[in-house]
A and B are shown apart, each in its own frame.
Chain A
Amino acid sequence: MGGANDSAGHVADHLFRHEGAKVVATLTAHLGTHRLQLAEDVVQEALLRALQTWSYRGVPDNPAAWLTQVAKNLALNALQREQRWNQKQDTIAAEHARWLSAPAQDMTHETFADDTLRMMFVCFHPELAVESQTALALRTLCGFSPAEIAAAFLTSETAVAKRLVRARQRIRELALPFAVPDAAELSTRLAGVLHTLYLLFNEGYKASVGDRLVREELCEEAIRLLTLVTQHPSTQEPRAHALLALMLLNAARLDARTDDAGNLLRLHEQDRGAWNKAMIQRGILCLHQASQGNTLSEYHIEASIAATHCLAADASATDWPLILHLYDQLLALTGSPVTAMNRAVAVAKVHGPQAGLDALDNIANRSVLEGNHLYHGMRGTFAAELGQAGAAVAHFRQAAKLALLPIERDFFARRIEECEAKPENTGRV
């Protein structure tokens, strides 16, 4: 005892959350996905015992083994109580009892990584609703409490608890296997896993709603889980590396997006010295790994766009023609109006604000963007650059009206002030 923790300050960040989640995965691996609730309950109890013991004695050398042992004992007790009522499953019960009463010291990093990866394929199963997938992942793979998940998604704890109950029920009904899918299914299932991790990351990345710390942790968690995917022989595909690159290159700039007062900053206003260089390097490395092979996913292109921003020494050195070229490719791949909207920024940087406005006007299914505050913000920016202050103000007002977050409304309010401070340039329209 105490060896891993000569100073209390040395306790790994999120140790309880992460080690607890590992043990949930391992217990579920042995007891079956229909026992997910039991696994979570005994791990919660094991963490409480850890709190009680480690507070006095420090963290043991192998906290995961300690927690696994305690959780296994608790699970064995619970199952033995249950078994009196259910004598039918003799052989399965005996097998469970054998594993649960064996010592937990044989748990290695690889075992835990295997189990966590398989747990990911359960949590991100396409039969579960996306909100259930993300809530369940945060609960079981990351160890967040329902209250913390609620804070991240700006919803109520009860709503999160309901989602979790439904998800576990659905897993039982479908008798989901605790396994990495076989080769035939792997490609589509991996796409689903990557997509939900992408959503999880974006949830944390979009301007701070709710608890900021929890939201930053969403980004960290998505990166941690995806790193596991990229390290595992069965799932380390180029598109997984590409998505990891994308996340790292965006997360590296997370802190620089707001000033000390919490105001949103535009790209050219950000302090590039505050970007996380180590994370950018890791992202670029991932992008290199992603380019081994001949697949090109949207993640590849999005990561390349992020890399182009990260590698520019300052805003004026940004290679906008390259970014525009990448957006052209991305648009050809996705056809999404949101991609077309983001492309308009690059168009304006290369060909001027009028070309940006034209690009927005030429989006085929533009009507879906009318309710998007960023769309109106962009129109406002282009109009302001053209000296059309009146039109710009109208667009910024519309953007502020549609924005959900105070931080975004403040941002548009500042743009409106800027426009009103400048004389209208009526000469050229």
Chain B
Amino acid sequence: MKNTPTNQYMFLVKGASCQDGGLSAEQMQAKMTEVYAWIEGLTRKGVMSAAQPLTPERKLLSGKGASIISDGIAAESKEAIGGFFIVTAATMDEAVAIARTCPMFNYGGQLEVRQMARLDCD
């Protein structure tokens, strides 16, 4: 299958939990069900190979010998990363097309799509 090259793309999820504080239990369940159904559908098709949430705790290390440790930006920030997906696609356009189907956009989420660098040379 050399002539259908595939790449892996990482979707970084940002800001999707910003407004969750105001959701009722029922609304939370609706959102959870919707997002998980999307992931499950793509997993069944073999398109998604990883879906991983991240906990809100965050430490930012910097400086010589990691001398500076801070909490970085708050978990509620629109910039905070809530999790990531890894999907398989032929091109960036195809990856973007897959990303557009993500229901997180209905909940104020953002996805940053990045191609994972390849180490092979064909």
Could you list which residues of chain A lie within 8 angstroms of chain B, going by C-beta atoms?
5, 7-9, 11, 14-17, 20, 47-48, 50-59, 143-145, 147-148
Q: Are B25 and A143 in contact (CB under 8 A)?
A: yes
Q: Measured between C-beta atoms, what is the minimum distance from B25 to chain A in Å?
A: 4
Q: Given A14-B26, A16-B29, are A52 and B53 also a contact pair (CB < 8 Å)?
A: yes
CB contacts between A and B, total, < 8 Å: 77
Q: By DSSP majority rule, is chain B's interface helix, strand, loop, or mixed?
A: helix
Give every chain B residue within 8 A of A148 (Cβ-Cβ): 24, 26
Knowing A56-B39, A56-B83, A57-B53 touch, does A11 contact B24 (C-beta < 8 A)? no
B positions within 8 Å CB-CB of A: 17, 20-21, 23-29, 31-33, 35-37, 39-40, 51-53, 56, 82-83
Question: For A52, what are the chain B residues with a Cβ–Cβ distance below 8 Å?
Answer: 17, 20, 53, 56, 82-83
Task: Check if B31 sits within 8 Å of A14, measured CB to CB.
Answer: no
What is the minimal beta-carbon distance from B102 to any residue of chain A, in angstroms? 11
Q: A57-B51, A145-B25 are in contact. Are A48 and B17 (CB under 8 A)?
A: yes
Most buried by A among B36, B51, B83: B36
Question: Bound complex: CA of A54 vs CA of B31, how far in Å?
Answer: 10
Q: Cα distance A5–B29 when bound, in Å?
A: 13
Partner of B25, one of A9, A16, A55, A57: A16
* Contact in complex: B28, A47 (CB < 8 Å): yes
**Do A51 and B26 touch across chains, with their CB atoms under 8 A apart?**
no
Interface centre among A7, A8, A147 (most CB of B within 10 A): A8
Contact A8 B53 (CB under 8 A): no
Docked complex Cα distance between A57 and B20 (Å): 18
Contact among A51, A59, A147 with B28 in the assembled complex (CB-CB below 8 Å): A51
Contacts of A48 on B, CB cut-off 8 Å? Answer: 17, 20-21, 28
With contact pairs A51-B20, A148-B24 given, residues A17 and B29 touching in the complex (Cβ less than 8 Å): yes
Whether A11 lies near B29 (C-beta < 8 A) is yes
What 5 A-B pairs are tightest by C-beta distance, nearest first?
Answer: A145-B24, A16-B29, A16-B25, A55-B35, A8-B37
On whether A7 and B53 interact (CB within 8 A), knowing A17-B29, A20-B25, A51-B28, the answer reads no
A5→B20 CA distance, assembly (Å): 23
Extra 17 A-B pairs, beta carbons < 8 Å, given A16-B28, A51-B23, A55-B31? A8-B36, A8-B37, A11-B32, A11-B33, A15-B29, A48-B17, A51-B17, A51-B20, A52-B20, A52-B56, A52-B82, A55-B36, A55-B53, A56-B83, A143-B25, A144-B25, A144-B26
Task: State in angstroms the CA–CA spacing of A11 and B43 once bound together.
Answer: 18
CB distance from B12 to the nearest CB of A (A): 13
18 A-B residue pairs with Cβ-Cβ distance under 8 Å, sorted by A, are A8-B37, A8-B40, A15-B29, A16-B32, A48-B28, A50-B28, A50-B32, A51-B17, A51-B23, A51-B29, A51-B31, A56-B35, A56-B52, A56-B83, A57-B51, A58-B36, A143-B26, A145-B27
Chain B residue, CB-CB nearest to A12: B29
A59 contact set on B, CB distance < 8 A: 32
By beta carbon, the residue of chain A nearest B53 is A56
CB contacts (< 8 Å) of A11 on chain B: these are 29, 32-33
Alpha-carbon distance A56/B21, docked complex (angstroms): 18
Report yes or no: A56 in contact with B36, Cβ–Cβ below 8 A.
yes
Contacts of A8 in B (CB 8 A): 33, 36-37, 40
A53 to B82 alpha-carbon distance, docked (Å): 9
Closest chain B CB from A146 CB (angstroms): 9
Residues of chain B lying within 8 A (CB to CB) of residue A5: 36
User: In the assembled complex, which residues on chain B have CB atoms less than 8 Å from the CB atom of A51?
Assistant: 17, 20, 23, 28-29, 31-32
User: What is the CA–CA distance of A152 and B36 in the complex, to the nearest angstrom?
Assistant: 29
What is the distance, in angstroms, from B95's C-beta to the closest C-beta of chain A? 18
Alpha-carbon distance between A17 and B28 when the two chains are bound, in angstroms: 9
Find the residue from B25, B35, B40 having the highest chain A CB count within 10 A: B25
B32 contact from A20, A54, A144, Cβ within 8 A? A54
Interchain CA distance A47-B37 in the complex, whole Å: 19
Q: Give Cα A57–Cα B52 distance, bound, in whole angstroms.
A: 7
Measured in the bound complex, the distance between the Cα atoms of B40 and A8 in whole Å is 8
